[in-house]
């Protein structure tokens, strides 16, 4: 299946019954899939909203009423949703937001990019809040992590973002859909009318400063718990590695191709792939630095995950960087050429395998 359709099918199987979205390339196939298939489910509702702002507030309302809800967009569309995401975090409403990243800033282009890392992992909107961010790298992970996203959103009553890119949304791969877990979401959090009991309400507007502070600390305790329990990563070819590439999503797929080339040259290079971008797998990366002292961060951006890698390693390892922003996707050959030139024990034997000239620019090769 095409990646965008994989997310749609996984969401429906996971129990998503409300979707609101607004068209934007390169995620339109997801909106089309939900339009065609969600209405066929029992109680499924699809709305093509009048704007991205409307879409995020619609899923907030559906979530408050107890529905598993999802919206999707691409980079500038996600920017418009930020106030709504902040409001959902404040009101502790579960929901899944999909971002198929494209080149930016501004309207940019429709090519795959990874320039939204800061926006996703730092909350993006106003106030003290965080959003769980999952970064799939394969079609199979698009399916699995979509189902996981709904479970995590319910478990912690918080928005969860799936951060992929235009290439992953458009590519086709074989996928096996697993059986979803039964939903566990207490009725006490659902607005279904008071009946004979006490009225229930959900609010994010708290005018008393002390009460607002208490609410912020309550959210902070929840985010701290998520940080301890929900980190995910993949470590590939790192047991004997002398240098490790840190990459996520499509960039990690490019990195695996480069690693095959590098190891054929005798260079011991591995991969550390964060799957949860927030919470970032700091402990797991720091443990690698106990026996590996050379890392290179590779992103399809000017370097945003680089900050989290620096925070994790805290000066106990050498950290290099290579990036291609604006929608450029480098080849494994290009990346292997860059890594081989920065390998800690490169010798004349390696030079014979170099195939591409690295041009030095003002910010690196």
Task: Encode pLDDT of 104-152 as tens digits.
Answer: 999 999 999 999 999 999 999 999 999 999 999 999 999 999 999 999 9
> Is the pLDDT score of 200 beyond 50?
yes
Question: What pLDDT sits at residue 349?
Answer: 44
Question: What pLDDT sits at residue 363?
Answer: 53
- Enumerate the β-bridge partners of residue 161: 97, 133
Return the closest-CA partner of residue 225 out of 284, 152, 274: 152
Q: Where does CATH 3.40.50.920 sit in the chain? A: 233-351
pLDDT digits (tens, 9 = 90+) for 170-182: 999 999 999 999 9
- Radius of gyration of the CA atoms of the chain, in A: 21
**Torsions phi, psi of 96, nearest 5?**
-115, 130
Mean pLDDT of the region 279-292: 96
Question: What pLDDT sits at residue 201?
Answer: 86
Cα(90)–Cα(206) distance, integer angstroms: 10
Question: What pLDDT sits at residue 362?
Answer: 46
CATH domain 3-229 topology: Rossmann fold (3.40.50)
> Is the pLDDT score of 356 beyond 80?
no
Token pair belonging to 193: 């009318």
Q: Are the C-beta atoms of 71 and 81 separated by less than 8 Å?
A: yes
Q: What are the angstrom distances between the C-alpha of 88 and each of 167, 227, 318, 340?
A: 29, 19, 39, 46
Return the SS3 of 36: helix
The pTM is what?
A: 0.92
Question: 50 burial class (0-12, 13-18, 19+ CB within 10 angstroms)?
Answer: exposed
Q: Where does CATH 3.40.50.970 sit in the chain? A: 3-229
Q: What are the angstrom distances between the C-alpha of 129 and each of 11, 123, 308?
A: 25, 6, 17
Question: What pLDDT sits at residue 345?
Answer: 65
Question: What pLDDT sits at residue 355?
Answer: 42
Question: What pLDDT sits at residue 348?
Answer: 42
Q: What are the angstrom distances between the C-alpha of 16 and each of 21, 44, 81, 138, 154?
A: 14, 8, 19, 21, 12
Mean pLDDT of the region 345-354: 48
pLDDT tier, 353 (very low <50, low <70, confident <90, very high otherwise):
very low
pLDDT tier, 210 (very low <50, low <70, confident <90, very high otherwise):
very high
Q: Are the C-beta atoms of 62 and 69 separated by less than 8 Å?
A: yes
Q: Is the Cα torsion angle 39, 42, 43, 44 positive or negative in sign?
A: negative
Q: Are the C-beta atoms of 154 and 67 separated by less than 8 Å?
A: no
pLDDT tier, 264 (very low <50, low <70, confident <90, very high otherwise):
very high
**For the chain, how many residues are written?**
365
Q: What are the angstrom distances between the C-alpha of 334 and each of 64, 121, 337, 340?
A: 48, 28, 5, 10
pLDDT digits (tens, 9 = 90+) for 2-13: 999 999 999 999
Cα(247)–Cα(305) distance, integer angstroms: 8
Question: 235 burial class (0-12, 13-18, 19+ CB within 10 angstroms)?
Answer: middle
> Is the pLDDT score of 301 beyond 80?
yes
CATH domain 233-351 topology: Rossmann fold (3.40.50)
Cα(190)–Cα(83) distance, integer angstroms: 22
Mean pLDDT of the region 69-89: 98
Percentage of the chain lying above the pLDDT 90 cut:
89
Question: What pLDDT sits at residue 364?
Answer: 54
Mean pLDDT of the region 253-281: 97
Q: Is the Cα torsion angle 274, 277, 279, 280 positive or negative in sign?
A: positive
pLDDT tier, 196 (very low <50, low <70, confident <90, very high otherwise):
confident
**Torsions phi, psi of 57, nearest 5?**
-75, -30
Question: What pLDDT sits at residue 199?
Answer: 80
pLDDT digits (tens, 9 = 90+) for 15-39: 999 999 999 999 999 999 999 999 9
Q: What mean pLDDT value characterizes the chain?
A: 93
Residue with tokens 């005018």: 207
Q: Strand (E) positions, the chain?
A: 18-21, 45-48, 69-73, 95-101, 132-134, 159-165, 233-236, 243-246, 269-274, 276-278, 294-299, 318-323
Cα(349)–Cα(41) distance, integer angstroms: 61
Mean pLDDT of the region 312-330: 95
Buried b (16+ CB within 10 A) or exposed e, 62-73: bbbebbbbbbbb
> Is the pLDDT score of 357 beyond 70?
no
Return the closest-CA partner of residue 5 out of 26, 49, 78: 26
């Amino acid at each position: 299946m095409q990646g965008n359709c994989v997310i749609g099918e996984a969401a429906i199987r996971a129990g998503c019954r409300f979707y609101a979205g607004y068209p934007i390339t390169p995620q339109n196939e997801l909106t089309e899939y939900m339009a065609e298939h969600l209405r066929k489910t029992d109680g499924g509702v699809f709305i093509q909203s009048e704007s991205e702002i409307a879409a995020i507030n619609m899923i907030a309302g559906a979530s408050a009423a107890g529905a598993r809800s999802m919206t999707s967009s691409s980079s500038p569309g996600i920017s418009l949703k930020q106030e709504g995401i902040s409001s959902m975090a404040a009101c502790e409403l579960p929901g899944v937001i999909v971002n198929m990243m494209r080149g930016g800033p501004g309207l940019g282009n429709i090519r795959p990019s990874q320039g939204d890392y800061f926006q996703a992992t730092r909350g993006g909107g106003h106030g003290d809040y965080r959003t769980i961010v999952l970064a799939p790298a394969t079609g199979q992970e698009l399916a699995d992590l979509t189902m996981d996203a709904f479970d995590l959103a319910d478990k912690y009553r918080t928005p969860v973002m799936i951060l992929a890119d235009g290439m992953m949304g458009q590519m086709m791969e074989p996928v096996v859909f697993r059986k979803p877990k039964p939903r566990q979401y207490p009725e006490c959090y659902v607005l279904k009318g008071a009946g004979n009991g006490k009225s229930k309400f959900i609010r994010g507007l708290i005018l008393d400063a002390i009460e607002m502070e208490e609410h912020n600390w309550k959210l902070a305790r929840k985010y701290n718990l998520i940080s301890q329990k929900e980190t995910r990563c993949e470590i590939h070819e790192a047991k004997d590695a002398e240098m490790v590439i840190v990459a996520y999503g499509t960039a990690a797929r490019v990195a695996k191709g480069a690693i095959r080339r590098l190891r054929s040259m005798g260079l011991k290079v591995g991969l550390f792939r964060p799957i949860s971008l927030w919470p970032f797998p700091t402990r797991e990366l720091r443990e690698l630095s106990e026996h590996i002292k050379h890392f290179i961060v590779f992103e399809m951006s000017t370097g945003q995950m680089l900050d989290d890698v620096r925070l994790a390693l805290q000066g106990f390892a050498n950290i290099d960087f290579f990036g291609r922003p604006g929608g450029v996707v480098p080849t494994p050959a290009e990346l292997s050429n860059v890594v081989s030139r920065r390998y800690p024990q490169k010798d004349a034997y390696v030079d014979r395998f170099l195939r591409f000239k690295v041009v030095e620019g003002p910010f690196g090769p």
